Amino acid sequence: MSRGNARKISADARRQQVRARYGGIASGGDCCSTEGGSSSCCGSGAPGSSCGPTSAATQLGYSTRDLAVIPAGANLGLGCGNPTAILALKPRQVVLDLGSGAGIDCFLAAKQVGAKGHVIGVDMTPEMVGKARANARKGHYVNVEFRLGEIEHLPVADSSVDVVISNCVINLAPEKGPVYREAFRVLRPGGHLAISDVVATRPISARDRADPTLWSSCSSGALEVKEVKALLKRAGFKDVHLELRNPATAPESLLGQASLGVVSADIRAIKPED
C-alpha cells in the first residue's frame, strides 16, 4: 500500500503484516537483514553505521554483561529499551513477556528470578517462538517457556503473574486497549507492569497509520502519551508513570522515527491490591 492511500486496515490484516515482517527477521538472522526492507526499528544497515544487534542493544540500555550471559541468537537487535532494567525483579517471581521475540528479555529475567522463579514469553510469530525455544534449549533454561499467542488474547491464567514486561511490541498491536486489559487480567493483585515502548509526541496522520511499513517498523502504531495513560487507567492500573527517553541519545536504529515525533519511553504501572 502506498503512503498516499489512507484506507483503514483491519486488525487481522495488520497482524498479518507484522507477523510476516518479524517472521522474516526471525528466519533471516537479525533486524539489519534486508528482509522486509530497512525500518526505524532496524536501521539502515549501511556500511559504517551502528546498525547491528550488539551495538543497538548496548545503546538501548543492555550491558555487555547482559549480552554475554544470554544464548547466542537471542539478541536480534530489536526493541527500544531494556524492560528488565525498569523494575528490579525478585527471586521466585513469575514474569510474563509480551511479544518475546527470540527471548532476550526472558533470558535476562530468568537470571533475576532464579531457578524457583518462572518466565513466560508470548509471541504471535511461529518463527520467533521456534527460535526462542531453540535458544532456551541451547542455554539450558529450565525456568523459561515460550507460548504462541496474540498479546490481545494471552494464553495465560488469571492472576498468575507477578510482573508483565514488554519491549517495543504493544505499539505494533492494532488494538492497544485489549492488550492492557489482558495484562491486568493475568497480573496478581499488587503485580507490576514494566514496559519499554514508543509513544507519539504529536498526532500521527491517518495516511501514516495506514502505511504497513511505518506501522510494522514500530513507528506509526505509537499512541500519544495521554492516550497510553488513559488506556492503562481504564484497564484498572494505578500509579501510572511514563518517562520519555531523550531522543538525542537514541541509537541510529531508532532515528527514523523522528519525522513522526515518535520517541522511546519507559512505562510503569501497578495492579491494585484486592
Domain CATH for 79:
3.40.50.150
Distance CA 6, CA 143 (A): 45
Can you tell me whether residue 263 is helix, strand or coil? Answer: strand
Query: Does the residue 177 lie in any domain?
Result: yes
Distance of CA 158 to the CA centre of its chain: 22
Query: Does the residue 220 lie in any domain?
Result: yes
pLDDT at 250: 64
Domain that holds residue 182: 11-270
pLDDT at 192: 98
- Return mean pLDDT, the chain: 87
pLDDT at 258: 78
Query: Does the residue 193 lie in any domain?
Result: yes
Query: Does the residue 59 lie in any domain?
Result: yes
Give the residues of the chain that fall short of pLDDT 50: 1-6, 29-40, 42-51
Query: Does the residue 20 lie in any domain?
Result: yes
Number of domains in the chain: 1
Distance CA 78, CA 231 (A): 25
- The tens digit of pLDDT for each residue in 65-87 reads 999 999 989 999 889 999 999 99
Distance CA 24, CA 224 (A): 29
What one-character DSSP code corresponds to residue 151? T
Distance CA 272, CA 188 (A): 9
Query: Does the residue 137 lie in any domain?
Result: yes
Query: Does the residue 4 lie in any domain?
Result: no
Distance CA 245, CA 249 (A): 8
- The tens digit of pLDDT for each residue in 21-60 reads 999 999 884 444 333 333 335 433 333 333 456 777 888 8
pLDDT at 255: 64
Cell of 86: 525498569
pLDDT at 204: 95
Contacts of 240 (CB under 8 A, 6+ apart): 229, 232, 233, 267, 268, 269
Distance CA 250, CA 83 (A): 16
DSSP H or E run through 127: helix 126-139
- Phi and psi (nearest 5°) for 121? -110, 135
Distances (CA, A) of 50 to 45, 57, 134, 242, 254: 8, 11, 28, 28, 11
Query: Does the residue 256 lie in any domain?
Result: yes
